[in-house]
Structure 1
Amino acid sequence: MYLTSQYASPVGELTLCSQEDRLAGLWLKDQKYFGASIAGEMVPGESPVLAQAREWLDRYFAGKQPDPDELPLAPAGTPFRQTVWRLLLQIPSGQVMTYGQLAWRTAEALGRPSMSAQAVGSAAGHNPISIIIPCHRLLGADGSLTGYAGGLERKLWLLRHEGADL
């Protein structure tokens, strides 16, 4: 069973989800793939990790740069998606990377000669822990805002909030 709670943020209502003592999800309202990685029943409730995630979000939205490593994250996904999500966590707050750059890093991490930017984009789009695993820091090859499951207006807000040079 998964416990969920709500968080009122400047980008709209967020749903947080925990399983035992780990954060399994954080979705924006109406986000594409909302809850898709959860293999069980989600019920309203409270847990220490949900409180910890809300405190992390409080600091983030207050303009601080909390470290995602402070939270016990447990996003469910394939090994490929897990690799992409781990690499997303390496993009510092206020910085951006193109899907192509992330594809190159993913290929390197997997010991492959190359990787499709589209495959990496799909993995980023299925990220079940938005904001904390910062898929919003990805841009198109020409620096354009593309592909955010939570909506481009929210992506732009998050990047501006972090002080990214767009």
Structure 2
Amino acid sequence: MTSPYLIRFTSPIRRIELRADESELTSLTIERDGSLPHDDLPERPSPLLVSARDQLEEYFAGRRTSFDLPLRLEGTPFQRAVWAELQRLGWGEATSYGALAAAVGRPGSARAIGGAVGANPMPIIVGCHRVLASDGRITGYSGGEGVPTKLWLLGHEQIGFAA
């Protein structure tokens, strides 16, 4: 299914592109290497996208700690289970890949968890930046410019991590 609505805005972690259908947000992409996936398409705002942009701007300004948006998270049942666990995390809370694996009933599958976390179509809103290694280290981030983007988000939420 296509997402006919599209909006972009500038954030502290580079430009963000939001896409939606008539009733749900379908993707959030953080600019990487100066481009977004649909830079070639004209913006087509909708009330939902305007609300999503406003909520994200409030988050970046430190005035919002949770989101109230309808999401369409398309993925495998395993990915959706991982993303559901991520949605349970609140502002300033972190978890580990191992803890996520246990929470979805797949202990010992931290690598598969990492793949599901990296495939999250809604970073920031579904807080994949809140996942750290079991020893508290940052092991990577697939959004925006990678680890520097994750560092900004962790700092913004005052989440500590190991160097």
2:142 alignment partner, one of 149, 152, 156: 149
Moved more, 1-10 or 133-142: 1-10
Residue 81 of structure 1 is aligned with which of 71, 79, 82? Answer: 79
1:119 equivalent to 2:112? Answer: yes
Counterpart residue type for residue 19 of structure 1: D
Correspondence 1:48-87 to 2 at 5 A: 48-68=47-67, 70-87=68-85
Contact 1:8 1:14 in 2 (8 A): yes
Identity of aligned residues (%): 39
Asked if 2 retains the 8 angstrom alpha-carbon contact of 1:121 and 1:147, the reply is: no
State the TM-score, normalizing by the size of structure 1.
0.85
- Residues 73-130 of structure 1 show CA distances to partners (whole Å, capped at 9, x for unaligned) of 11211111111111101111112111111111111xxxx6x35011111001000011
RMSD: 1.7
Structure 1 segment 1-166 matched on structure 2, within 5 A = 1-2=2-3, 3-30=5-32, 44-68=43-67, 70-107=68-105, 114-150=107-143, 151-166=146-161
Q: Which runs of 5+ in 2 are unaligned?
A: none
In structure 2, relative to structure 1, the CA distance for the partners of 1:43 and 1:124 (3 Å cut) is farther
Structure 1: 4+ residue segments shifted above 6 A: none
For these two proteins, the number of residue pairs brought into alignment is 152
| Partners of 2:63 and 2:127 in 1: CA distance | 15
Higher relative contact order, structure no. (Cα contacts within 8 Å, ≥ 6 residues apart): 1
Instruction: Tell me the distance in 2 between the aligned counterparts of 1:88 and 1:55.
Output: 22
Residues 37-57 of structure 1: CA deviation (Å, up to 9, x unaligned)? xxxxx7631111101101110
Residue of structure 2 equivalent to 1:39: none
Q: What TM-score do you get using the length of structure 2 for normalisation?
A: 0.86
Of 42-51 and 91-100, more deviation after overlay is shown by 42-51
SS in 1 for 2:88: coil
* C-alpha deviation, 1:65, in angstroms: 3.2
